Amino acid sequence: MKFNTNFKNIAESYLFSDIAHRVNAYTAAHPDKKVLRLGIGDVTLPLVPSVIEALHGAVDEMAHKETFKGYGPEQGYAFLKDSINGAYARKGVQLESDEIFISDGAKSDLGNILDLFDRDNTVLVPDPVYPVYVDTNTMAGRKIIFMDATAENGFLPMPDYSVDADIIYLCSPNNPTGAAYTKAQLKKWVDYALKKQAVILYDAAYECFVTDDSLARSVYQVEGAKKCAVEFCSFSKTAGFTGTRCGYTVVPKSIEADGLSANKMWLRRQTTKFNGVPYIVQKGAAAVFTEQGEREIKKNIAVYQENARIIAECMDELGIWYTGGKNSPYIWLKCPGGMGSWEFFDYLLDGAQVVGTPGAGFGKNGEGFFRLTAFGSREVTEEAVARIKKLLTE
Ligand code: MLT
């Protein structure tokens, strides 16, 4: 047996596992201290009533032989794919339902999609970025080129035609920086991908936070994208499914090369390696698209948007430079006093018992930056902000 030695090239533990480990060690050493967690982007509001009702209904269906469900279609039930398709149509995007594949979340599919691509592809990744893109490609031994996302380019790198890439990762609104591409900027990426015969793997997990009309909510709002882009989306941040697990991936039929179709390959891959998301969960997810469900999730999203505003206001008061917070649940700030990312992490944990995510964990350009999430409860966000202000002004 020979191990995949590419694992030697990634950090021993995943960023958020590493943080959880450090926070657990701190709480074990200081059991009397109340730690406030604004680190991992995990939602805190419960599932909305429409979803709960649909979940209960589906559980009851499983209790009767007339309505019981065994294996479902690996690519998802038509009722959910059609609902998602309807939501795309409302964004002005025309898809076919069999271009939509239901999964247990965007993170899994962002890694799994790499089954479609040969090892011999050059990958272009922004730095800083959600660590999954880099780690999964490093595991596969692929060559990765980084493009700098910095304060100078608003953390939104644009294509450089002197760079040849085959697989391009874009995440907008961005995790971790909160920066979001306009449709006009994305068009430049689509043009580049078409010219280079590359594929864009577009992570739209945070699209529900976009409020500004010039910004894209889907890559397919840009002409030409259906020929070169796969889009990943999730119910996690939109509808609180981080623990319930459901997402979807759009693989357009018009992405073809070497006599192969990405859509057919992905169907083949999923039917071979995946048995679908539980019926019960898919019923819950479909409830998100009912009129009532949509109203309810919007109320929850508004709570997180207000948290983002509260954190941003604190940064304004403290004179700390930041991006995000608008069109995004993340606030990406410059560590005060020239501190390094992990130094500020420890300073905040020790001094205020507030947990954030060190920017350096997202790439070298993240050094000296720090991410706070708006997904905490209103109370935790307010208390965290008060503690940060006290710590930094004393
Ligand atoms: C994050 O905090 O970056 C995300 O919650 C991680 C994820 O969605 O997997």
Segment 217-253, tens digit of pLDDT: 999 999 999 999 999 999 999 999 999 999 999 999 9
Atom of ligand 1 nearest to the CA of 373: 2
**Strand 330-334 versus strand 357-358 pairing type:** unpaired
CA dihedral sign, ordered 381, 393, 334, 27: negative
**Greatest Cα pair distance in the chain:** 67
- Report the separation in Å between the CA atom of 40 and the middle of ligand 1, taken as the mean of its atom positions: 6
Q: Take atom 5 of ligand 1 and give the residue whose Cα is closest.
A: 41
As a whole number, mean pLDDT of residues 360-376 equals 97
Residue 131 CB–ligand 1 contact under 6 Å: no
Q: Is 122 helix (H, G, I), strand (E, B) or coil?
A: strand
User: Alpha-carbon distance 316 to 322, whole Å?
Assistant: 9
Which tokens hold the place of 361? 């964990």
Nearest CA to ligand 1 atom 4: 41
Whether 175 lines ligand 1, by a CB cut-off of 6 Å, is yes
189, β-bridge pairs: none
Kindly provide the residue ranges of all beta strands, DSSP E only, lying in 204-314, ordered along the sequence: 229-234, 247-250, 256-257, 260-261
- List of residues 6+ apart from 41 with CB closer than 8 A: 175, 237, 329, 330, 373, 375
Q: How far, in Å, is the centroid of ligand 1 from the Cα of 162? A: 32
Q: Rounded to an integer, what distance in angstroms lies between the CA atom of residue 188 and that of residue 181? A: 10
Residue 94: pLDDT above 90? yes
Residue type at 357 in one-letter notation: T
Structure tokens that stand for 392 in this block: 């930094």
Distance CA 123, CA 107 (A): 17
Cα–Cα distance for residue pair 335/320, rounded to 1 Å = 8
Which tens digit of pLDDT belongs to each residue from 43-60?
A: 999 999 999 999 999 999
Is the CB–ligand 1 distance for residue 107 below 6 Å? yes
pLDDT at site 14: 86
Where does the pLDDT of residue 209 fall: very low under 50, low under 70, confident under 90, or very high at 90 and above?
very high
What digits encode the pLDDT tens for the residues 302-345? 999 999 999 999 999 999 999 999 999 999 999 999 999 999 99
- pLDDT at position 11 over 90: no
Contact 157, 126 (CB under 8 A): yes
According to DSSP, residue 201 is labeled E
Report the atom number in ligand 1 closest to the C-alpha of 42: 5
